[in-house]
Chain A
């Protein structure tokens, strides 16, 4: 039985729903030795800012039960270097390359959106309003519905014909109100969720395990939280949702589709083994066939409650 893994996202054809999450897949090229980048449904590259960013001091990562904490602080090479050195080497004609944007205010977001939307090789813009590891902006943007809406609007105005995705934080009282505000502001899709804030300490040295003290929790440990957020947001808004949080198998992918996601992103699981996203993309149609699922469009949001 041949199954249909294609999904419909605004403004782009997607051959399968398995994408990679920003910050877990470098600029894509780092993982090219481990699989065919063209086999992925999309690649969301490391968060980009107008100017290069140094990032946070070390240590930046700590392992936790079924997960990890990170406080990388959006270290990145800057948009100019990305467009010059990285993007031309990515298979953007075959696989959507989604740029993840980080900026300190609405004007900067708009400027960055202007630069990236002019690129043929960029399929969509994912706006990071939820990074827990930077002092300016970041998570604060994603905790206030008015601000989330304003940023979505600022980016959308400069995005030309590129779809705008807004990546939401789970560190909020009501994720649905933020989701609604982002969509009202012009978001074409929503990415749910960024990391949960957390911390880890060493009782012997009495030191935090991250130099930044607080970091973002990711990995299989957060999957139930992500699934709940996707479910709630999908019930409330009609914009497509891209689910992310702890996905480490084709079964996990179907869980997110089942609660309403159009597509998913593989994040921390890329660190478990660098061919993980490729393996999941390969396994998904087999699993669908085993379960008698003909198409994802038909399976999506079919949760029996």
Chain B
């Protein structure tokens, strides 16, 4: 596991909106130059603070690492509030402070058939997962999404993943069918490894299915964080023993059996 280093003052290389022309789907790739963050385990995250935040917003923002090379750190960001709104309007050359990689990433077992389950922007860490996996033929992906598929880094993953399926949810009636698909897939990979990232209801479904089929599964939580380094105790999650664990340092990736994953943490 890479050690977290000091805060790095980086600059924006590019901010690119993804998806169909003129769509305004709110999905962006943010590239930062020469990150100098060392190596990362897919599922780890970075904290990001643009210089223009000043004193407001007070919190930096956590993002999972979508892709990390010596030349660039790529984040996949969907606008969902004032922090991401500012981030996605940055332009090349803008200053951003970044620290990480932080937390615990996904297990990687080259020889084990592995199912990646992603919901929406939760696809981000699996780009790095697939890119760094030594045997991508052992990887399969089920991706649920609402925006057009071209808004997400799916196509480049389909190239490296042995099997990739996308499911677009256009209306609430689609949800039961998506859950049926997840059910079949989790049953199929019950003897393998399942890694999941997406919204909390999605992760709760994955956890429920993994328990039902006795599958080994990990989920990556997106609990609200202030500091990202273990200082504030704001991002905690209840573990199986009823105690709080810190999503930032002990997670964000947890084995399903470690957690209660109730409606309210």
Q: Which residues of A are at the interface with B, using a C-beta cutoff of 8 A? A: 23-26, 30-31, 33-35, 46, 54-55, 57-63, 65-68, 70, 72, 75, 211, 219-220, 248, 268, 270-275
Cross-chain contact B231 with A61 (CB below 8 angstroms): no
Nearest chain A CB to B56 CB, angstrom units: 5
- Specify which chain B residues have a CB less than 8 angstroms from the CB of A54 in the assembled complex: 242-244
Q: Give the interface segment out of B22-30, B65-73, B154-162, B220-228.
A: B220-228
In the complex, chain B residues 197-237 whose Cβ is within 8 Å of any chain A Cβ = 223-224, 226-237
Query: A residues within 8 A CB of B80?
Result: none
**B145 interface contact, C-beta 8 A:** no
Distance A30 CA – B232 CA, assembled complex (angstroms) = 10
Within the complex, the shortest CB–CB distance from A268 to chain B, in Å, comes to 6
Given contacts A26-B230, A35-B6, A66-B58, 19 further A-B contacts (CB under 8 A): A24-B231, A25-B231, A26-B229, A34-B7, A54-B244, A58-B264, A59-B224, A60-B234, A61-B235, A70-B234, A72-B232, A75-B244, A211-B264, A220-B56, A270-B231, A271-B58, A271-B226, A272-B58, A275-B6
Contact B56–A65 (Cβ < 8 Å): yes
A219 and B58 in contact (CB under 8 A), knowing A34-B229, A59-B224, A270-B227? Answer: yes
Please indicate the chain A residues that have their CB under 8 angstroms from the CB of B231 in the complex.
24-26, 30-31, 270-271, 274
> A30 to B229, Cβ gap below 8 A?
yes
Chain B residue nearest to A64 (CB atoms) is B58
What residue in chain B is nearest A68 (Cβ atoms)? B58
A89 to chain B, nearest CB (A): 14
A68-B59 in contact given A61-B226, A61-B234 (Cβ < 8 Å): yes
* Chain A residues with CB under 8 A of B4: 33
Query: In the assembled complex, which residues on chain B have CB atoms less than 8 Å from the CB atom of A63?
Result: 57-59
Does A58 contact B227, Cβ atoms closer than 8 Å?
no
Cβ A33 vs Cβ B3 within 8 A: yes
For A33, the chain B residues whose CB sits under 8 A away are: 3-6, 229
Whether the pair A268, B230 counts as a contact (CB closer than 8 A) is no
Q: How large is the interface on B (under 10, 10 to 19, 20 to 34, 35 or more residues)?
A: 35 or more
- From DSSP, what is the main secondary structure of chain A's interface residues? loop
Interface residues of B in 126-167 (CB under 8 A from A): none
Interface centre among B55, B236, B242, B249 (most CB of A within 10 A): B55
B99 and A60 within 8 A (CB): no
Is B60's CB within 8 Å of the partner chain A?
yes
Closest 7 CB pairs of A and B: A61-B234, A58-B265, A30-B230, A271-B227, A271-B226, A26-B231, A220-B55
User: In the complex, which residues of chain B have a beta carbon less than 8 angstroms from the beta carbon of A35?
Assistant: 6
Chain B residues with CB below 8 A from A31, complex form: 229, 231
A273 touches B249 (CB 8 A): no
| Interface of chain B: mostly helix, strand, loop or mixed | loop
- Proximity bits, B114-133, A CB within 8 Å = 1, else 0: 00000000000000000000
The 8 Å CB contact of B55, one of A55, A58, A66, A70, is: A66
How many Å from the CB of A103 to the closest CB on chain B? Answer: 19
* Residue in contact with B58 in the complex, picked from A57, A59, A60, A67, CB distance below 8 Å: A67
Interchain CA distance A144-B87 in the complex, whole Å? 46
Whether, in the assembled complex, B112 has its beta carbon less than 8 Å from a beta carbon of chain A, the answer is no
A26-B230, A26-B231, A58-B264 are known contacts. Are A220 and B58 too (CB-CB below 8 A)? yes
Given the complex of chains A and B, what is the CA–CA distance between A31 and B58 in angstroms?
Answer: 18
Q: How far apart sit A46 and B230, CA to CA, in the bound complex (Å)?
A: 11
Check A34–B99 contact: CB distance below 8 A: yes
Task: Specify which of B3, B97, B228, B233 is in contact with A60 (CB 8 Å cutoff).
Answer: B233
CA distance A211 to B223 in the complex (A): 14
Chain B residue nearest to A246 (CB atoms) is: B55
CB distance from B36 to the nearest CB of A (A): 15
Chain A residues with CB under 8 Å of B58's CB are: 63, 66-68, 219-220, 268, 271-272
CB B260 to nearest CB in A, in angstroms, measures: 11
Pairs A–B under 8 Å by Cβ, sample size 16: A23-B233, A25-B231, A26-B231, A34-B99, A34-B229, A58-B237, A60-B236, A61-B226, A63-B59, A66-B55, A66-B58, A268-B226, A270-B227, A272-B58, A273-B49, A274-B99
B226 to chain A, nearest CB (A): 4
Q: Smallest CB-CB separation from B57: which chain A residue?
A: A63
Complex CA distance for A219 and B58, rounded to whole angstroms: 7
CA distance A55 to B243 in the complex (A): 9
Given contacts A34-B6, A34-B7, A72-B233, contact A272 B264 (CB under 8 A): no
By a CB distance below 8 angstroms, the chain B residues around A70 are 226, 232, 234
Min CB distance B245 to A, Å, is 11
The interface residues of chain B lying within 8 Å CB-to-CB of A248 are 55
Q: Which residues of B contact A273 (CB under 8 A)?
A: 7, 49, 60, 97, 99
Q: Contact check, A274 vs B55: say whether CB atoms are below 8 A apart.
A: no
A272 touches B7 (CB 8 A): no
* Neighbouring A residues of B242 by C-beta, 8 Å: 54
Residues of B close to A65: CB separation below 8 A: 56
Q: Which residue of A lies closest to B56 (CB)?
A: A66
